[in-house]
Structure 1
Amino acid sequence: MMTGTIYPAEEFDAEAAAAGMREAMTGFGTSEEAIISILVNHSWEQRKEIATAFKTAYGKDLIEDLKDELGGNFEDVCVMMLASPREIDARELNKAISGAGTDETVLVEIMTSRTNEELAEIKEIYEKEFETTLEEDLQSDTSGYFGRLMVALCANGREPSEGWDMAEAEDSAQKLYEAGAGSLGTEEAEINAILCIKSYDQLRAIFYKYEELKGNPLEEDIASETSGTLKDGFLAIVEVAKYKPRFFARRLHDAMAGLGTSDDDLIRIIVTRSEDDLEEIKEEYQKLYEKSLAEDVADECSGDYKRMLLAIIK
């Protein structure tokens, strides 16, 4: 069972919390510490109730008040915490698709790591907020085999995990080999079909049989037989199927590696995983990089933004 770092407050009083948010933003200056404390000590569902209580009591929108009082990355993370994880996903997908260019890394991260149920919720929110379907936008903004991968994932037709069939796993492993390393060309459609349809339990059995058959992990052959965003998408599915927290640990490290920090990625992942599996992600981060996630966040971020992220990570 996965565990997050943020839990619902046991003694919850939406009106009192709303009053606390109001007090933190009135008078001379803003009490960022009070805002951090209220937001990180309530679940997103409770934060929604706080926002409703705030509007009822003061006739003002809490998000708009936060935008007026705060700025920069600290504002972004506070505002994001007042949305549900799936609302965040829908908006981040739209942002990745809209405007000049496409942020394929965001598409890969969200589309490969969400469950059937989560994808169904994302699609419903997306259509309601943007008056078009996610599938239509993916089709118009991506192309080739990567576009097919995104549309296939959008269908959220992955088989449910109900154990595994080793005979079928051996057959699928053979098909993957013949579609990739075992042929002169690469049959991307065959790889796509297996990776997008099979349950995570079955995929893990297929990966085991593939390595038994070929003598090396499937990831090595995907990396050598495919390229670009399609390779990134296929590799993401494999890593998510093997152990999702490790996938997110790598994504967080990538967000802070190199020149500059990808704050959008850092905020999105930490906020959306905070009530899901952030504890496991922290453990994997420590194993992979021999340094805690909190240490790297402290090194790469600053000010109230850093304090907020560290309060979520705990």
Structure 2
Amino acid sequence: MAALWVGNRGTVKDYPGFHPSQDAEAIRKAIRGIGTDEKTLISILTERSNAQRQLIAKEYQAAYEKELKDDLKGDLSGHLEHLMVALVTPPALFDAKQLKKSMKGTGTDEDALIEILASRTSRQMKEVSQTYLTVYKKSLGDAISSETSGDFQKALLILADGRRDESLKVDEHLAKKDAQILYNAGENKWGTDEDKFTEILCLRSFPQLKLTFDEYKNISQKDIEDSIKGELSGHFEDLLLAIVRCARNTPAFLAERLHGALKGAGTDEFTLNRIMVSRSEIDLLDIRTEFKKLCGYSLYSAIKSDTSGDYEITLVKICGGDD
């Protein structure tokens, strides 16, 4: 299943000459010594792919009868701990945990929910949903249903089910038809037919949506974003805008999220860790490019000026370079 989570624009690759048992031993020494040897932990965990880290965790468990993640938790603290634990978590489980966390307690972190559900592929979401059910003994759909409502909920449930078409073929006739449906459901109508927006934006493939948005502009003389902002509101509006941005350019959407996490007072480490770890083997190189375009400075420099210590060192290694 790992192939679902590996693209060709990542910053982290398989480590050549990989020896999981040697790595497990080195990590054990780094943790067991007097004071933790963070440098060793960081250099091993940031220079192995997630698939390799899973093998290290297996070896670690076999050799020391302890879970690597538990030992990391016991030995590290704060943001560094969260980041290192994220690195040794399988991708589908990591997303499941993030979704769980975003719906925990009072109030829901809608932005995190939207970011994950809008940017993952259908096949990824199917695996996340399966993992969620296995780990929490409750379906992701039920969790979303109990935390959200209305059109926002309806759209999230379709995305959580992984029902988006993933074929790369585009159908020009369908794009024209969908564009007209969207126009009739919004700009061209008194009141808005939200279901039509949900169906098209949550079920059509990203390449198909791009073509639909071009057709939409021809028909209405407006960008689909402007129509969504004019016709819809609240978290439902936020979700559909996120889908449009992901359909147009997922790395640009995630670069924007990183910019938000790194600007102003205080850093949003929750978002920073999630995007850096979850995209490090998929498209972090493209996210870096988009970040530079958006901000005028590199992601690398933003991380350096906004974080510190071993946490900074780890993020910078995942980032992979300056632009």
- Asked whether the two chains share a fold, i.e. TM above 0.5, the reply is yes
1:152 maps to which residue?
158
Give how far 1:93 is off: 0.6
Instruction: Measure, in 1, the Cα distance between the counterparts of 2:223 and 2:268.
Output: 30
Q: Could you tell me whether the CA contact under 8 Å between 2:300 and 2:316 is conserved in 1?
A: yes
Task: Look up the SS of the partner of 1:25 in the other structure.
Answer: helix
Q: Which of 229, 232, 239 is the equivalent residue of 2:238?
A: 232
Instruction: Measure, in 2, the Cα distance between the counterparts of 1:175 and 1:51.
Output: 51
Give how far 1:252 is off: 0.7
Q: Please show how residues 52-71 of structure 1 align to structure 2 within 5 Å.
A: 52-71=58-77
Instruction: Measure, in 1, the Cα distance between the counterparts of 2:53 and 2:156.
Output: 32
1:271 maps to which residue?
277
Give how far 1:277 is off: 0.5
Give how far 1:210 is off: 0.8
- Deviation track 1:234-293 (CA, whole Å, cap 9, x = no partner) reads 011111111111111011111112321110110011000001100000001011111100
1:79 maps to which residue?
85
Matched, 1:199 2:175: no
Q: Please show how residues 35-184 of structure 1 align to structure 2 within 5 Å.
A: 35-184=41-190
User: In percent, how many aligned pairs have the same letter?
Assistant: 38
Give how far 1:27 is off: 2.4
Segments of 5+ residues of structure 1 without an aligned counterpart are: none
Q: Could you tell me whether the CA contact under 8 Å between 1:2 and 1:280 is conserved in 2?
A: no
Matched, 1:13 2:19: yes
Aligned AA for 1:185?
G
Instruction: Measure, in 2, the Cα distance between the counterparts of 1:56 and 1:155.
Output: 35
Instruction: Measure, in 2, the Cα distance between the counterparts of 1:141 and 1:186.
Output: 24
Q: Which of 293, 296, 302 is the equivalent residue of 2:299?
A: 293
- Deviation track 1:45-75 (CA, whole Å, cap 9, x = no partner) reads 1111111111222222211211121110001
Aligned AA for 1:205?
L
Segments of 5+ residues of structure 2 without an aligned counterpart are: 1-6
Aligned AA for 2:10?
G
Give how far 1:162 is off: 3.4
Instruction: Measure, in 2, the Cα distance between the counterparts of 1:197 and 1:294.
Output: 35
1:305 maps to which residue?
311
Q: Could you tell me whether the CA contact under 8 Å between 2:8 and 2:281 is conserved in 1?
A: no
Matched, 1:223 2:229: yes
Greater shift in the superposed pair: 276-285 or 210-219: 210-219
Instruction: Measure, in 2, the Cα distance between the counterparts of 1:162 and 1:59.
Output: 46
Give how far 1:108 is off: 0.5
Matched, 1:24 2:30: yes
Q: Could you tell me whether the CA contact under 8 Å between 2:129 and 2:161 is conserved in 1?
A: no
Aligned AA for 1:165?
D
Q: Please show how residues 253-264 of structure 1 align to structure 2 within 5 Å.
A: 253-264=259-270
Instruction: Measure, in 1, the Cα distance between the counterparts of 2:103 and 2:277.
Output: 21
Q: Could you tell me whether the CA contact under 8 Å between 1:161 and 1:200 is conserved in 2?
A: no
Task: Look up the SS of the partner of 2:281 in the other structure.
Answer: coil
Instruction: Measure, in 1, the Cα distance between the counterparts of 2:176 and 2:61.
Output: 58
Instruction: Measure, in 2, the Cα distance between the counterparts of 1:60 and 1:118.
Output: 29
- Deviation track 1:133-178 (CA, whole Å, cap 9, x = no partner) reads 0011111111011111111212221123232122221111111111
Give how far 1:26 is off: 2.3
Q: What RMSD in Å do the two structures reach over aligned CA positions? A: 1.2
Give how far 1:84 is off: 1.4
Give how far 1:2 is off: 4.1
Q: Could you tell me whether the CA contact under 8 Å between 1:63 and 1:79 is conserved in 2?
A: yes
Give TM-score, length-normalised by structure 1: 0.97
The count of residues paired between Structure 1 and Structure 2 equals 314
Runs of at least 4 residues of structure 1 off by over 3 A? Answer: none
Instruction: Measure, in 1, the Cα distance between the counterparts of 2:75 and 2:182.
Output: 54
Instruction: Measure, in 2, the Cα distance between the counterparts of 1:243 and 1:266.
Output: 19
Aligned AA for 1:277?
D
Q: Could you tell me whether the CA contact under 8 Å between 2:251 and 2:283 is conserved in 1?
A: yes
Instruction: Measure, in 2, the Cα distance between the counterparts of 1:33 and 1:309.
Output: 13
Aligned AA for 1:152?
I
